[in-house]
Amino acid sequence: MTQADPPERVLVPTVRGPVDAADLGVTLPHEHLFVLSAEFQSNYPHLWDREAGVRAAVRQLSAAYDAGVRTLVDMTVLGQGRDIGLVGAVAERTPINIVVATGIYSVDGIPLFARFRGPGCAVEAEEPLIDLLTRDVTTGIGDTAVRAGLVKFACESVPPDAAAHRMAAVTAEVHRRTGVPVVVHCDPFEGNGLALVRLLEREGVAPGSVVIAHAGDGGDLGRLRALAETGCLLGYDRYGMTPFASDAQRNATLAELVRAGHVAQLLVSQDHAAHIDYLTPEQKAHTYPDWTYVHLFTKVLPRLLREPGIDEATVHTLLVDNPRRLLSRVPAPHPEAHSEEAHAI
Ligand SMILES: [Zn+2]
């Protein structure tokens, strides 16, 4: 047969089932539906009305759909109250594809569930987390067939502490077994992103498969460039969380990285949650007035497009191509090609 084979179809798992990667469209790669303190919710059920919460999330997603969003990644993992039943109830009532993640969010060490058992622990044992997180990717979460498309952990210690070393080993093994990209919640202010990329690299994860989430909150351009030079993806994923960084600051450094040849490594999102029980809705509205699923579209992108070197094609790369490649489990291209020419711009 001499005819070229058609390009292989890549299917991305979503809550409603697999979706052709080519059909993902505009994608928000780091958001949340519900961030819940699970024990507080189960012990004090009067705190939050689940049904009303689902309805509110559906309404907010409808605004995102109207703004052009077709896919949203819910990065809520264990430690943030991931509840696949709630996510499923939303997915049934929105046209937006929802991709979910697995992993552990624990910024103060390994959760108690796994703290005393595992390699090097008081009870020397096999790592209990690897099979659990792998199951989320290969079999399904809980008693559902919903499979996770990414694996995440969190590290705010500078330099990365023992818990981060353990979680890097866990997520690297899940990545090796399944191919899902690794997303790390970092500390962008003290700046531990570079150390986390190197840590994961030592565990066998190529930087092109690593997202340093929240990197774009940091204002140190030299540090951001050094991070980008590794070939990792940088999360400009908290637009609207202005107490951490202004839109103008994020846009300025993002545009610098685009002009330096790193456009394929940048992800834009808002880290928004339809409901997060760390704050009352009133506190949330007061502290983060711009924090929504649509802030990017109403305020950020129109201003970003005024930056030199940014055009509609750049925005398409950020919102469509980069998330699609990430969710297709394809590493980001290494930025080495840009060195001479791009630096001269
Ligand atoms: Zn997040």
| DSSP notation for 127-185 | -HHHHHHHHHHHT-STTS----SEEEEE---SS--HHHHHHHHHHHHHHHHH-PPEEEE
Report the binding-site residues for Zn(2+): 30, 32, 152, 185, 214, 271
The neighbourhood of ligand 1, an ion, using CB within 5 A, equals 75, 271
- pLDDT for the residue 108: 83
* Distance from the Cα of residue 130 to its chain's centroid: 20
Half-sphere exposure of 308 toward its Cβ, with a 13 Å CA cutoff?
4
Distance 345 CA to ligand 1 centre (A): 34
- The average confidence (pLDDT) of the chain is 94
Look up residue 106 and give its amino acid: S
**pLDDT at residue 344 is higher than 50:** no
Distance in angstroms (rounded) separating the CA atoms of residues 152 and 130: 12
- pLDDT for the residue 8: 78
Which pTM was predicted?
A: 0.94
Distance 22 CA to ligand 1 centre (A): 25
Using 50, 70 and 90 to split pLDDT, how confident is the model at 316? very high
- pLDDT for the residue 345: 42
Which single residue is written with the structure tokens 């980069």? Answer: 322
Look up residue 118 and give its amino acid: G
- pLDDT for the residue 7: 66
Using 50, 70 and 90 to split pLDDT, how confident is the model at 338? low
Using 50, 70 and 90 to split pLDDT, how confident is the model at 116? very high
**pLDDT at residue 213 is higher than 80:** yes
- pLDDT for the residue 3: 53
Distance in angstroms (rounded) separating the CA atoms of residues 104 and 127: 14
- pLDDT for the residue 309: 96
Distance in angstroms (rounded) separating the CA atoms of residues 166 and 5: 42
Stated as kind and residue range, the H or E segment containing 33 is strand 27-35
% pLDDT > 70, the chain: 95
Pick from 16, 13, 9, 26: nearest CA to 322:
26
Distance in angstroms (rounded) separating the CA atoms of residues 64 and 70: 8
Structure tokens at 25: 């469209």
- pLDDT for the residue 145: 97
Pairs from 47-55 (Cβ < 8 Å, separation ≥ 24): 47/277, 48/275, 48/277, 50/86, 53/86, 53/274, 53/275, 54/86, 54/89, 54/90, 54/93
**pLDDT at residue 341 is higher than 60:** no
Distance 314 CA to ligand 1 centre (A): 24
75 Cβ partners below 8 Å, 6+ apart?
30, 31, 32, 101, 150, 152, 183, 213, 271
Distance 6 CA to ligand 1 centre (A): 37
**pLDDT at residue 223 is higher than 80:** yes
Domain 11-344 has CATH 3.30.70.20: no
Distance 218 CA to ligand 1 centre (A): 16
**pLDDT at residue 1 is higher than 50:** no
% pLDDT > 90, the chain: 93
Distance 29 CA to ligand 1 centre (A): 10
Using 50, 70 and 90 to split pLDDT, how confident is the model at 5? low
Cβ contact 186:213 at 8 Å: yes
Q: Are strands 150-154 and 182-185 parallel, antiparallel or unpaired?
A: parallel
**pLDDT at residue 2 is higher than 90:** no
